Amino acid sequence: MRYFILACLFVLTALLMMCSFINNPNRWVVKSPDGQIVVTLELAQDEQGESTLSSQGRLQYQVSCGSQTVIKASPLGLDCEDDSFSENLIFLAKSRQKINEKYTLHNGKKSDLTNNASQLTLTFMNEKNARCEVIVRAYNDGVGLKYALPGEGEKVITGEVTGFKIPAGTAFIMPYDNPGQWWPAYENYYGQYEVGSSSPTEAGWAFPALFRINEGQNYVLLSESGLNGSYCGTRLHQDAPDGLYKVRFPEEADGEGVGAVTPVVSLPWESSWKVIIVGDEPGDIVESNLVTHLADPPAFPVGDYIKPGRAAWSWWSDSDSPRNFAKQKTFIDLAVEMGWEYYLLDANWNYEPMEDLLDFVNYANEKGIGVLVWYNSGGPHNIVTEAPRDRLYEKERRRQEFAWLQEIGVKGVKVDFWHSDKQAAIQYYIDLMKDANDYNILVNFHGCTIPRGWERTYPNMLTLESMRGAESYKFAPEYPEKAVWHNVNLVFTRNVIGPMDYTPVTFTNMEYPHLTTVGHELALSVVFQSGIQHFADQPAGYLTLPDAAKQFLKDVPTTWDEIKFIAGQPGEFVVLARRKGDSWTIAGISGLKEEKNVTIDLSQFAANEALLIGDATKDSFDIRTLSVGAQDIKMLPYGGFVIRCE
């Protein structure tokens, strides 16, 4: 009898605890439309409660995917100069909303998109009776989190307590740049670390950050979206104790110390979104469009002048060539021969006579090639001497420059050396994109921040650098050895969140020769997506290609209607299929030092036959026709291939 009574008491206690948990008025749940992604939020209770946070009135959340926890109990909150919204919070109200919209993306991995999510908004009050909202969206492929402050007046945001507690596993993550003459610019390497490792740089870890967790059963990518001039870009702290990666603001020294670290916001105000992309397979991450789903709709229409395309570029093969218009005319002729739409005129072009510049632009325009021109973004936020500089920093001068460019027939600008994610720098980016649109000018950012959905909001922004690209073959002796796996990692990280100007497809060797094969280099035109794809090699590097490879580069799109992940793992290899109209193109690259075979069922992509352009040797192509059906494709060490489906 005694054991029976004890058993009954145990069951009764468990039932009471369950009822308390279910009926907890300070606990909320929001689920994705398919019910697989679940976000649970909870306000810490008093000393008698069961909260995993010890301090009363602190908000935490966790995220599950199916039966797996992908974000463990993690803090939420915002701190201001005269207010704290990170503790002693009292719940006031909640509201729910269904997000269901369709939109077209003119520059990306997919063109026609559906933004479908469940949204929960929670309103809290702090001990000073000030209010803060936490807005959560649950998607089938992840979660968005942001803050809102109602009211009027101004507030100084001193920090976020937002964190992401990642279960044990592997992090594919990039150390953030410490401040310097050329940094920050998101140009370190994506390495492989144990979850919870400290960054080797005091500046912390960069977004996006990818994690393989739960013994490989789940993948999580962290980033941001919807950033505007009312906030700064954020990153992750250097230390991540027990896997808790917390958000931090820029360094004081970033951008030569120009601009405040702490944003000053006008109420009512909303922060940018923190993005958590979740999947069971790495392909779920690669295929996701969550960053643009969470971005603001277009700030202006997609004008007729906004045309993605391919560009020739002379700087990579001859850094002094921008000061020699006669040399550069051969690259205009290359663009004509290859059917590419643009040519990029790089740094220091302004030192040549004005009449030579005008003659060059006219030469290009007469041949149907649009000219893009380079600018230094400085301003006092960088000390780089490359020119022209000090023409875009001040609004009135910038608009004069854009009006002049439009008048002489230039189509776009490449603006370099930003070195800061402070609020003032973010506002500069946005002002520049808006002003450029007023004069039908396309925009490409280099030495810059990462994409945060701007290709949707500001559609004239066609690409950004914000990663270490092929230019490093000119000055980084370690680059060839690192590029073989770094290229693969970029597909799973940086290029997931937006267009990426790597300046790819270089067959010629520069100061530090390639280890990648010719098939690997050709495949970069497909595995990397950029609204303007700058093909970096010299004319002979393309004009001497076999006819099939040359024709492939004449035809390859820069924007796509659909993407399918076929196979791969970060740091090892990747195979993607991309569709433009009715035609599919398949491409793969390997970062492995041994051969890699992949099996591809071509029947889902090709109606009749397919053309393979792969590797015969490191420096020669294997070109042959494949029949429809399952095909075993071999990649050489550090190799690659493309398949054009008919």
Question: What pLDDT, in 10s, does the model give residues 459-492?
Answer: 999 999 999 999 999 999 999 999 999 999 999 9
Mean pLDDT of 615-620: 98
Per-residue pLDDT, 5: 43
CA nearest 96: which of 19, 36, 56, 39? 39
- Residues spanned by CATH 2.70.98.10 within the chain? 21-293
Of the listed ranges 82-86, 307-311, 449-453, 528-532, the one predicted with least confidence: 82-86
Q: Is the pLDDT of residue 403 over 80?
A: yes
Q: Where in the chain is the domain with CATH 3.20.20.70?
A: 299-466
Domain at 498-646: CATH code: 2.60.40.1180
Residue 13: band (very low, low, confident or very high) from pLDDT cuts 50, 70, 90: very low
Arithmetic mean of pLDDT, 27-52: 82
99-119 pLDDT tens trace: 999 999 999 999 999 999 999
**Dihedral angle sign, alpha carbons of residues 318, 357, 434, 160:** positive
Read off the pLDDT of each residue in 355-384 and give the average, rounded to a whole number.
Answer: 97
The pLDDT confidence band at residue 587, using thresholds 50, 70 and 90, is very high
Give the chain's mean pLDDT.
Answer: 94
| 241: enclosing H helix or E strand | none
Question: How high is the pLDDT of residue 25?
Answer: 80
What percent of the chain is modeled with pLDDT above 70?
A: 94
pTM of the model: 0.94
Q: CA 158, CA 543: separation in Å to the nearest integer?
A: 55
pLDDT at 55 (0 to 100):
55
pLDDT confidence bin for 289, thresholds 50/70/90: very high
Confidence of residue 608 (pLDDT cuts 50, 70, 90): confident
Residue 23 has pLDDT above 90, yes or no: no
The fold of 21-293 is Beta-galactosidase; Chain A, domain 5 (2.70.98)
Residue 19 is predicted with a pLDDT of 42
Q: Which residue has the higher pLDDT, 21 or 115?
A: 115
Looking at residue 44, its pLDDT comes to: 79
368-390 mean pLDDT: 97
Per-residue pLDDT reduced to its tens digit, 126-156: 999 999 999 999 999 999 999 999 999 999 9
- pLDDT of 51 reads 43
Dist CA 225 CA 145 (whole Å): 10
Report the distance separating Cα 573 and Cα 186, nearest Å: 22
Any bridge partners for residue 38, and if so which?
31, 64
Torsion of CA 341, 347, 353, 357, to 10 degrees: 10
Q: By the 8 A CB rule, do 166 and 65 touch?
A: no
**Delimiting residues of CATH 2.60.40.1180 domain(s) in the chain:** 498-646
Helix axes 325-338 and 354-366, enclosed angle (nearest 10): 10
Here the tokens at position 506 are 């270089």
- What's the topology of domain 299-466? TIM Barrel (3.20.20)
The per-residue pLDDT for 18 is 40
> What pLDDT does 45 receive?
62
Token pair, residue 290, equals 């969550």
